Amino acid sequence: MYCHTHNGNRIEGLELIEKAVENEIIFACFDFNGNGEGSGEYVTLGWYETLDINIVLNFLCNEAKIKHVCLWGRSMGASASIFYLSE
């Protein structure tokens, strides 16, 4: 699951999809609230973005039945991933 940068959005991860598919890896990109198509107004530099990660992970695990997930983030996405994993 790709977590984008502070001023970025899910489009950053699109260049990685082809490589993921070649290696039979399911790849997820999404917009944090306050970025791209996300509905929020504010960015908290990773703090509340952990809530977005939780929502996407719940979907992937519960609805899509994905058993193993790797978080990969750049900049704010990396911070959000670390904050999420530290909880």
Q: Assign residue 72 a region: left if phi > 0, alpha if psi is -120 to 50, beta otherwise?
A: beta
pTM of the prediction?
0.88
The answer to whether the beta carbons of residues 36 and 10 sit under 8 Å apart is: yes
Number of independent structural domains in the chain: 1
Position 39 scores a pLDDT of: 67
Per-residue pLDDT at 76: 95
42/62 Cα distance (integer angstroms): 28
Q: What pLDDT score does 43 carry?
A: 85
Neighbour tally for 18: CB within 10 Å: 10
pLDDT in tens, 34-44: 776 666 777 88
* Structural domain range at position 42: 2-86
What per-residue confidence (pLDDT) applies to 87?
84
